[in-house]
Structure 1
Amino acid sequence: MTSATSQETTLAEARLKSPPASRLTKHYALPGLERERRQFHEFVAVDLAHTTMLVEEGILSVDTGRAILEQLLTIRNMQPSEFPIDARKGSFLLQIESYLFGTIGEDVGGQMHTGRSRIDQGATVRRLYKRNRILDVMDRLNEFQGAIAEQARHHAHTIMPGYTHMQQAQPWVFGHYLLSFSSRLHDSFERLAQAYGRVNRNPLGTVGLAGTSWPLNRARTTELLGFDGQVENSKLGREAFDSADAICALSFIMADLNDLATDLHIWSSTEFGFVECDDSYCGTSSIFPQKKNPVALETIRKAAGPAVMWLSTALATFRAEGTGDQAMRTVSHIDEAMATTEGMLDLFTGVIETLIVHQDRMADSLKGSWWTASNLADVIVRERGLSFRQVHHIVARAVRNCVGQELRPDQLTSARLDEAALETAGIALHLGDAAVREALDPLRFVETRITDGSVGPHQVARLLERAAQERAADQQWASEARSRLKRSQLALDEAVGKLVA
C-alpha cells in the first residue's frame, strides 16, 4: 500500500491552466462548502456505503477497502467544524478525497470514487439530508398538532362569533375552529409524507448520465442507506424535482400557519379581544406605554410571506435549461425553507400552549347582533312549509326594519316578524314570541347543529376523536420511518465492521 503523496494535484489543476479566482472562491466555492458542511454526516454515510458495496462486489480489494473505511470512520467521529477545509480544492467530495490522499495516498484513496460521479454522489447526499430534515419538520408538526388538540379539547364548548366576508355570520365554537386547522395540518403531513417517499429514492449508481460499466450493486447501497427504492432511469439521477415536491409541501404548512396566525392576530386586537398571547410571546412599544404587541404571531406571518414563492422559485430555476444543464438542477433554498418551517412550527407551539382565550368576551360579542338570523329562517321553513328563498326575504326584511328602528334581536317579536312577512310575502306567520326567542338564541343554535362536521356538541366530540386518530397515525408514520433508518444504519455499521475487523 502506497503512502501519502508528497504533492497533491487538485481536480481543477489537471484540466485548467489557472487556479480559481478569489472572487469565484468567495462567491461560489465557499458558500457551497458551507452548505455542504451541513450535510457532513450524509457525505460520510454515502462514502461508507459505496466503498462497502465496491468491496463486497470485488471491485475493490479488501485491503484497499479496509484502508478507506478506516479513514472514513475517523472522519465520521469528527465534528463537522473540525474537518479541515481548503476552498481551493473544490466541493466537499473533493475535500474528503483530499483527506484520504493525505493519510493513505491518492493511489488508494482515489479508488473510492470508482463507479460514481460527483453528480450521483451529490444527489444521494442531498436526498439523505432532505429526508432527515423532513422527519425533523414532521416531529415539530406533530408537536404543534398536539398543542392545537389540547386547546380544542379545552374549548370544545366555547361559543364565539363566526364571520364570512369579515362580517357577522353565525355563532361558532372556538374548539371547532381549531379543529379545522387540525384537519388542514393532517393533510399537510400527508403531503410531506408523499414528498418524503419521492425524496427517499437512491440515485447512487446512475453516475453522470448513462450509468457505468462497473458491476455496481445498487440494491445494496439502497439497503445500506435506508432508501425505500432507487431512481430507475440513470438520466434522472441528478433531477431535483423531489426537492420541488418537498418544498411545495412545506409551503402548504406555512400557509396553514399564516392563516391561523392572521386570525389570532386580528382576534387579539382591542376591538375584538377574543384571544391574547401570553406576555412571554409579546413585545412592547418604545412610545406607546399601553401596547402589548403579539410579536410571535407577527414573526410567523412575516416568515410565511416568502413561502408563497418557494415552489415557483424552484421551478423557475429549472425553466429554460431543458434537461441537459445539470448545474442548475438544485433547489438551494430548500435548506432555508426547512429551517423556517421547523422554526415557525416550534414558535407557534409555544404560542398555542400559552394562548389566553377570553370566553366571556366571545359570548358577549354575540349579544345584540343578528348572528342567528339564518336559524330563524330554518325554523320558519320547518314550521310553516314555505320555501327558504321566501323566508330569506322575510327575515332579511325583519332585520332591516329592526336595524332601522334601533331594535336589538331580543326585541324582535312575533308581531314584528309578521309585519316583515306581510311586506314581502303577503302572509302572517303567527310563530309566537317564545319560538322567535328560541330561534335567535346562540346557545340553542349550536345545540341544534347535527350535520357531520358541524359545531354541534356531538359533532365536535367526533371531530376531536378523529383528530386524535389522525395525529396518532402521523406520529406512528414518523416513528416507523425513523426506525427504518436506524435499522439501515445498523446494517451499514455491521457491514463496515466486518470489512475493517
Structure 2
Amino acid sequence: MTYPTSQEILLTDARLSAPPAPRLIKYHDLPGLEREKKQFQEFVAVDMAHTTMLVEEGIISAAAGRAILQQLLAIRHMKPSDFPTDVRKGSFLLQVESYLFAAIGEDVGGQMHTGRSRIDQGATVRRLYKRNRLLNVMDRINDLQDAIAEQARHHARTIMPGYTHMQHAQPWVFGHYLLSFSSRLHDSFQRLTEVWARVNRNPLGAVGLAGTSWPLNRARTTELLGFDGLVENSKLGREAYYAAEAIGALAFVMADLNDLATDLHVWSSTEFGLVESDDSYCGTSSIFPQKKNPAGLETIKKAAGSATTWLATALATFRAEGTGDQAVRDLPLIDEALTTTEGMLDLFTGVIETLIVHEERMAASLNNSWCTASNLADVIVRERSLSFRQVHHIVARVVRNALAKGIRPSALTSALLDEAALETAGIELKLGDQVVRDALDPRRFVETRVTDGSVAPLQVTRLLAHAHSEREADRRWMAGTRAKLAHAHEELDAAVGGIVALERTA
C-alpha cells in the first residue's frame, strides 16, 4: 500500500506567526524533548494501546489502525538514539507523529491522535515511566534488606554500647541495631506501595480537561497498559501530585540511608573503631598517607542532604499554578529523586555486604561503661520495693561517687551503693556484692531482657524471623506486580498482533 505525501505543517505553524525563538528552543523545547526521550518505550506503549482501542471500538478503521501499528512496532524495536528527532517539531508526541506522517501520510497517521490530547497522553506516559522506576527502587530496597539481614544474623550476639546523645545508654546488640533499619526500610517499601496505588491509575481518555465526544473505552487502555484503575475525574487527568507524594516517599528512604550511614561513619572513626568500611568502598588522601576515608558512606550522606528539599521543592513548583495552568506538572525533579535513591540503595548494599565489624572492640567498649546503671536501678526497685524515681537518685549518686574515686563498674560494692543511698534517700539497701556485680554486667543485661523486640537472644532471633517474613511479603508484592505488568504487555502485543494480522487474512 502506498500513502500520499505532502508538505508537513508544524503544529505551531497554524496558529503562531513566528517559529520558536532560538532561546526558547534552547531552554524549553530541547530540555523537554531530551527528558521525554528517556520515556521512549512508554510513549510507544501508550500510542499502541490507544490505537488498538480506537480500532476495537470502530473509531478508526482497521486498515488505518494496522498501518499505524506497523509503524509503531518498527519504532518500538529502535534504540531511542536511532529514532529521528527535530526539536523544531516539538514534543516527542509530535516527533512520533512526524515519523508516521513521513511513512504513511498525515491523513492516516494523524488518526492516531483521535480522542486524546497531549495532556492526557503525556500524563499517561509519565505515570508508566514513574511506576517502572519506582519498581526498580523497590528492588534495590529488598537487596539492601538482604545484605542487612545477613550481617544481622552474623552479629545476633555481638554486644556493643548503645548510644543516646552520643553517650553510652545501655548495652546493645549490633544485629539488633541493624534489624531496626530492616524495619524502617520495610516501612519505606510499604510507603512506596501506597504511592504506587496512586501512580498506577490511567489518565488516558481524560483528554484536555472535560473528556471527549468520542466513545473511548478507557477500561480497555487501562487493561492494555497494566493500570490498576482510572483517574476517574477528567479534570484530574493532568494532575501530578502523585509525583510529589512519590518524592516524599523517596525522601523517607534517603532519610533511612542517611541515619544508617551517619552511625557507621561515626563508629568507623579512630576514636570509636567499632566498624570499618572495606577498602573497596574507601578512598585515601593526597597528603595524609595513613588515611582511609569511608568514601561510600560519605557519598550516601551527601546525596541524602539534597533529599531533604525534594518534597518542599515539588510542592513549591505547584504552588503558584492553581488548577488551571499546569504546564509544569511533569515535575522533572522526580527523575533526579528516583535516580539518586536507586543509586544510593545500590551503593549501600555493597557497603553493608563488605562491612568489617570489630566485635572485640565493641565488647571492650563496655568494660568500663556505666551503661548498665538502669539495670541496677531496676534490680533495686524489685528487691527493695522503692519507687523508680527514688532509686534513680541513688544510682545516679553512686555513679557520680565512683567516677570521682576512679572506681570501675566491675569494682562497685554493695557498701558503696549503700553510701549513695544514705546520701540521697537516708536508707541502706544491703543488696550484697554479687547482686550488684550481676546487675552491672553487660552480657547479663542482654540476657535478662524479656520484652518483645528487646536485645535478648531469643528476641533477636524472633526479630530476624520477623524481618525475613517482611522481606518475603515485599518480594511477593514485587513478583505479583511485575507478573501483572508482564500480562498486560502480552495482552497489548496480542491485541496489536491481531490487528496487524488482518492484512494477511484480508
Provide the TM-score with structure 2 as the length reference: 0.98
Paired with 1:100 and 1:320, the residues of 2 have a C-alpha distance of 38
Q: Which runs of 5+ in 2 are unaligned?
A: 502-506
Aligned partners of 1:438 and 1:444 also within 8 Å: yes
Q: Deviations over 1:43-86 (max 9, x none)?
A: 00000000000000000001000000000000001011100010
TM alignment of 1:151-300, pairs within 5 A: 151-300=151-300
Q: Deviations over 1:75-118 (max 9, x none)?
A: 00101110001000000000000000000000110010000000
Who is 1:331 aligned against? 331
Aligned partners of 1:54 and 1:216 also within 8 Å: yes
Paired with 1:481 and 1:46, the residues of 2 have a C-alpha distance of 19
Who is 1:366 aligned against? 366
Who is 1:78 aligned against? 78
Give the Å deviation of 1:326: 2.0
Who is 2:121 aligned against? 121
Q: 1:47 and 2:47 equivalent? A: yes
One-letter code of the match for 1:243? A
One-letter code of the match for 1:134? L
Paired with 1:91 and 1:320, the residues of 2 have a C-alpha distance of 24
TM alignment of 1:375-390, pairs within 5 A: 375-390=375-390
Paired with 1:403 and 1:129, the residues of 2 have a C-alpha distance of 61
Q: Deviations over 1:449-495 (max 9, x none)?
A: 11011101111111100000000000110111000000000000000
Paired with 1:455 and 1:380, the residues of 2 have a C-alpha distance of 21
Q: Deviations over 1:368-389 (max 9, x none)?
A: 1211011011111111111111
Q: Secondary structure of the residue that 2:160 maps to in structure 1?
A: strand
Paired with 2:32 and 2:269, the residues of 1 have a C-alpha distance of 45
Structure 1 residues 107, 2: CA separation in 2 closer, same or farther (over 3 Å shift)? Answer: farther
Give the Å deviation of 1:224: 0.3
Paired with 2:329 and 2:239, the residues of 1 have a C-alpha distance of 6
Q: Secondary structure of the residue that 1:328 maps to in structure 2?
A: coil
Q: 1:313 and 2:298 equivalent? A: no
Q: 4+ runs of 1 displaced by more than 3 Å?
A: none
Who is 1:149 aligned against? 149
Aligned partners of 1:188 and 1:249 also within 8 Å: yes
Who is 1:348 aligned against? 348
Who is 1:58 aligned against? 58
One-letter code of the match for 1:407? I
Paired with 1:353 and 1:369, the residues of 2 have a C-alpha distance of 30
Q: Secondary structure of the residue that 1:163 maps to in structure 2?
A: strand
Q: 1:447 and 2:447 equivalent? A: yes
Q: Deviations over 1:229-250 (max 9, x none)?
A: 0100000000001101111110
Who is 1:13 aligned against? 13
One-letter code of the match for 1:337? A
Paired with 1:4 and 1:353, the residues of 2 have a C-alpha distance of 62
Give the Å deviation of 1:407: 1.2
Paired with 1:412 and 1:56, the residues of 2 have a C-alpha distance of 86
Give the Å deviation of 1:2: 6.5
Q: Secondary structure of the residue that 2:161 maps to in structure 1?
A: strand
Q: Deviations over 1:302-344 (max 9, x none)?
A: 0001111111111111112210012132211101110100000
Aligned partners of 1:170 and 1:371 also within 8 Å: yes
Aligned partners of 2:126 and 2:330 also within 8 Å: no
Paired with 1:484 and 1:280, the residues of 2 have a C-alpha distance of 39
Q: Deviations over 1:198-255 (max 9, x none)?
A: 0000000000000000000000000000000010000000000110111111000000
Paired with 2:320 and 2:132, the residues of 1 have a C-alpha distance of 31
Provide the TM-score with structure 1 as the length reference: 0.99
Report the aligned-residue RMSD: 0.8
One-letter code of the match for 1:258? N
Structure 1 vs Structure 2: percent identity of aligned residues? 76
Give the Å deviation of 1:6: 3.4
